[in-house]
Amino acid sequence: MDKIEHIGIAVKDLEISNALFASLFGVAHYKIEEVISEGVKTSFFKAGPNKIELLEATNPESPIAKFIEKKGEGVHHIAFAVSDIISEIARLKKEGFVILNETPKKGADNKLVAFIHPKSSNGVLIELCQEIDN
Ligand code: ZN
């Protein structure tokens, strides 16, 4: 696994939270992207060298809606950059981690992504992401 690629934060209202985090970081979000298959609308911030992703549910069945229902707003996942997501999934599976999607899917920000179930990683949802070459 490489560096932390971003930290994902679940929010109820993207517009309100965009303003909140813009005043926290001193810089506005640089993009908004909807991932229809995941039922989320995301916005991205750069805070120094760090990237923060805000996630708002776009329907009540969205994983973000369910997360907020159970735990409230807050840190939702930590994403790590990997150079070869397929082999990383295979390695982690062999180590006993529960992979939520063994076939990587297209996530926000031009990435292939896969998630590790928090029940196998001390309650932390881990996202693996690999940049898609254009
Ligand atoms: Zn993410």
At 49, list the tokens: 């060298």
Task: Determine the distance from the C-alpha atom of residue 44 to the mean position of all C-alpha atoms in its chain, rounded to a whole number.
Answer: 11
Rounded to the nearest 10 degrees, how much is the dihedral formed by the CA atoms of 78, 90, 33, 60? -80
Whole-model pTM: value is 0.93
Residue 66 has, within 13 A of its CA and on its CB side, a CA count of: 5
Give the Å distance between the CA of 55 and the centre of ligand 1. 8
Per-residue pLDDT at 28:
97
Per-residue pLDDT at 127:
97
Give the Å distance between the CA of 128 and the centre of ligand 1. 9
DSSP for 51-65, please give it.
Answer: EEEEEEESSTTSHHH
Q: Which residues does residue 105 pair with via DSSP β-bridges, in sequence order?
A: 113
Percent of the chain with pLDDT over 70: 99
Residue 70 has, within 13 A of its CA and on its CB side, a CA count of: 8
Task: Give the separation between CA 20 and CA 13, rounded to whole angstroms.
Answer: 11
pLDDT digits (tens, 9 = 90+) for 19-60: 999 999 999 999 999 998 889 999 999 999 999 999 999 999
Per-residue pLDDT at 134:
63
Average pLDDT, stretch 93-102? Answer: 96
Give the Å distance between the CA of 80 and the centre of ligand 1. 9
Average pLDDT, stretch 58-86? Answer: 96
Q: Exposed e or buried b for every residue in 49-63, given b needs 16+ CB within 10 A?
A: eebbbbbbbbeeebb
- Answer whether residue 11 shows pLDDT above 80: yes
Tell me the average pLDDT of the chain. Answer: 95
Q: Give, as residue ranges, everything with CB less than 5 Å from ion ligand 1.
A: 8, 53, 79, 127
Average pLDDT, stretch 6-25? Answer: 98
